[in-house]
Structure 1
Amino acid sequence: MNLKDIEYFHYLCKYKNFTRTAEKLYVSQPSITIALKRLEKELDAKLVIRDNSEKQISLTEAGKILEKHVNNILNEVKETKVEIGKISGSNIKLGVPPMIGAYFFPNIMEEIVKSQLANNIELIETGSLAMIDKVLSNDVDMAFIGSLAPLKDSDLEATILKVDKFVVCMSKNHRLATSEEINFEDLVEEQFIALGNEYLHNEVLKRLCYKHGVSTDKFYYTDEIQTAKSLISSGLGIGIMIEMAVKDMTSIKKVKLQNSIKFYISLAFKKKHYTTVKEEKIKNIIINCKNCLG
C-alpha cells in the first residue's frame, strides 16, 4: 500500500468530506479520490459510501476495518521516525510538569550535568494530566508525572521516585494556623487560592470541596505557583499544595489534612519504547537519584 494513500484515507475518515479533506491537506480533491480508488482496487472492496445530497461520506464495513488499522499503521510510522531520529542524534525529549520541575527536578538535573548529558535533553513542560498523553503519543521519550495513585496503564512503564502529600497552606496569622491538623469541613467559609487546570492540585481541591460540601465559588485562580504562594502568605486565601512546594517557606503555615492525600511522582515511558544508550543512562541517573531527594 502507498503510505500517502493511507494518510489521505485517515483524514477522509476524520472529516467525512472530500473537499474538506483536500483543503486540510492542501491537495486537490482528485488526489483524494485517486488515492481512495487505489486502495479500493488493492483491497478489492468498497470502502466508502457517498451521500451526494449532504456531500458527506460514510464508511462501509471494510472501510471501518481499514480505518482501525490505518490508525495503527500511522502511529507505527511516527514511532519509527522518532526512534530512527534518536540514532541520528536527535535530543531526548524529557517531560517535566511545572511543579515537579520547580521543586523536584533541579537535584536530578545537577547529576545529569555532571554526566555531561544535559546537552542531549530537550525539556517539554506541561501538566501531569496532559503529560501522560504526550508519553503515549511519542511526543516525549520519558516524563515525570504526578498522580494521586501509582500509575497503572497497560501502555506505560513507571517507576515511583517519591511519595509526597497534600497539606493545607495559609498565612501565619490565619485563625487555624495553630492547628496540628484540619478536617476539610472546617474550611467551608474560606476563600481559596486555586491553581490552573494543568495542575493536579486543582483536581484535588475540587474533589475535596465536592466531598465536604464546600462551595467552589470562592476561588481565586492563577496559573503561577509563585503567585499562589504570595497570595496565601499575604492572607488573601488558603490553598492545597504538595508539601515539597512549600517546605522551606517560613511565611506560610503548613497544616496536615486529617485524611491525608498522597502525591506520587513517577518516571514514566511508553512500553516497547526503543531506548538509546544515552536515554538509558539518563533514565538510570534519574532512578538512582530518588534516594537523595528526601
Structure 2
Amino acid sequence: MQLEDFKYFNELYIKKSFTKVAQYYGVSQPSISSALKRLENFFGMKLVIRGTAQSQLTFTPAGEQLYQHAIALLTEVSSAQHELNHLKTHMTTIGLPPILKGAYFAKIAVATKQFDQQFNINNMSIYESGSNNLKKALIDGDIDIALLGSLNQSQEKDLLIMPFIQSNFCVYISKKNDLAQKKEIFFSELKEQQFVSLDSSFIHNQAIREMSSQAGFRPNYFMKTNDINFLMNLVGENLGVAILTNIVKPTSSDIIVLPLLDKVQPSFIGSVAFRKNHVLTKEEEMLVETLSQET
C-alpha cells in the first residue's frame, strides 16, 4: 500500500471513473485498478462495486468510510510536508487579518526582537486574508500560526485557539452624514443608510447579519471589499457606514466612531491559533507569550 493509492482512491470517489482518474494523474488505467486492489487487500473488504460499464461505480459502506479517513490522512500528510519545509528554511508563515495586522503586528515584531536579538523578521512570511480564510488555511497546513477574529470562543477540533483581546463593534461614519451629530447610536437607526463592509472572508459580515436580524431589517450594501483602507475612504466620502471593531483607528479626520447602544450585540474576539499537532518554534512561542500579555 502506498500514499498514491489513497490519492487515486479519493479522486476515484469524486470522478467515479477509472479513465478520468488515470487522465487526471497522467498514469495508466491499470495503475488506478492496482491501487484500488491494494487497498481492498490491505483492509480485507470490498470498497468499490463496478457496474456493467467501466464508468458505473458504486462505493460500498466500507468505501464511503475509507474516503472520509483518506481525506484526513492526505490533509495530515500535506500539513506535515508544509511544516517540515518551513523548518528546513527556518521560515514561519503567519496568517494575519488586515485589522489585527494593523493593530498588533508591529507590537509582535518589537516584543519578539526584545526576547531574542537573533530574531530575523525576514524569517516570518505573512499571509494576509480574512479570518474565515485563515482558519481554513491553518487546518490545511498552509500556514503555521494565525491571528483570528471571531464572535465567540468556540474551539475547532484540529485547532488550539487562545483569545487575547475582546472589543466592541462600533459604527464608522462620515462627518458629512446627518447621524454624525450623535454621540452614540442604536443599530436600528442605520436602517436607511447604505453600508460598506469587509467581504465574506471577514467575520464582520456575520456581526452585521446578527445585528440587522435583531433590528428587523436587511442592510443595503453599497460595496463589500477586502481592503480596509479602501473601505475607510468610502466611509470618509460618505458613501456608506461601516461596522468595525473599535480597535480599528480611523484613517481620516473625516470619520467619527459611534459606540452602539444595543444591549444585545456581538463582540469581536481576537485569538492566536495553531494546529494542535503543530510544534511551536521559539519565535512562535514568543508570539503567543506576547499576545497573552494583552489580556
Q: If the length of structure 2 is used for normalisation, what is the TM-score? A: 0.88
1:127 shift after superposition: 0.6
State the shift of 1:254 in Å.
0.9
Hey, what does 2:152 align to over in structure 1?
149
Aligned ranges 1:76-115 → 2 under 5 Å: 76-114=76-114, 115=116
The 2-side partners of 1:65 and 1:215 are apart by 42
Q: 1:75 to 1:227 in 2, by over 3 A?
A: closer
Distance in 1 separating the partners of 2:232 and 2:50 = 58
Matches within 5 A, 1:214-293: 214-247=217-250, 249-259=252-262, 260-288=265-293, 290=294
| One-letter amino acid of the structure 2 residue matched with residue 74 of structure 1 | L
Instruction: Give the paired residue count.
Output: 290
Letter of the structure 2 residue corresponding to residue 275 of structure 1? L
What is residue 64 of structure 2 aligned with on the other side?
64
Secondary structure of the 1:198 match is: coil
CA-CA distance at 1:21 after TM superposition: 1.4
TM-fit CA distance, 1:53: 4.6
Instruction: Report the more deviating stretch, 63-72 or 19-28.
Output: 63-72
Deviates more, 1:121-130 or 1:272-281: 272-281
Match of residue 38 from structure 1? 38
Residue 178, structure 1, aligned to residue 181, structure 2? yes
Q: For 1:192 and 1:2, locate their aligned partners in 2 and report how far apart those are by CA, in whole Å.
A: 53
CA distance in 2, matches of 1:94, 1:224: 19
Residues 239-290 of structure 1 show CA distances to partners (whole Å, capped at 9, x for unaligned) of 11111213574321111111253111110111132223443334334434x2
Higher mean C-alpha displacement, 255-264 vs 140-149: 255-264
Q: Which runs of 5+ in 2 are unaligned?
A: none
Q: Conserved in 2, the CA contact under 8 Å of 1:100 and 1:144?
A: yes
Answer yes or no: is 1:162 the counterpart of 2:165: yes
Opposite residue 253 of structure 2, the aligned amino acid is T
Deviation at 1:222, TM superposition (A): 3.0
Q: Greater CA deviation, 133-142 or 44-53?
A: 44-53
Q: CA deviation at 1:104?
A: 2.8
- Following TM superposition, by how much is the alpha carbon of 1:6 offset from its aligned partner in structure 2, in angstroms? 2.3
| Matched-pair identity in % | 31
Change (3 A) 1:277 1:188: closer
The one-letter amino acid paired with 2:147 is: F
Normalising by structure 1, we get a TM-score of: 0.88
What amino acid sits opposite 1:270 in the alignment?
R
- For 1:54-96, what per-residue CA distance to the aligned partner results, in whole angstroms no more than 9, with x for missing partners? 8231212332333233233323323333343344334111111
- Over 3 Å counting, the alpha-carbon distance change for 1:69 and 1:185 in structure 2 is closer
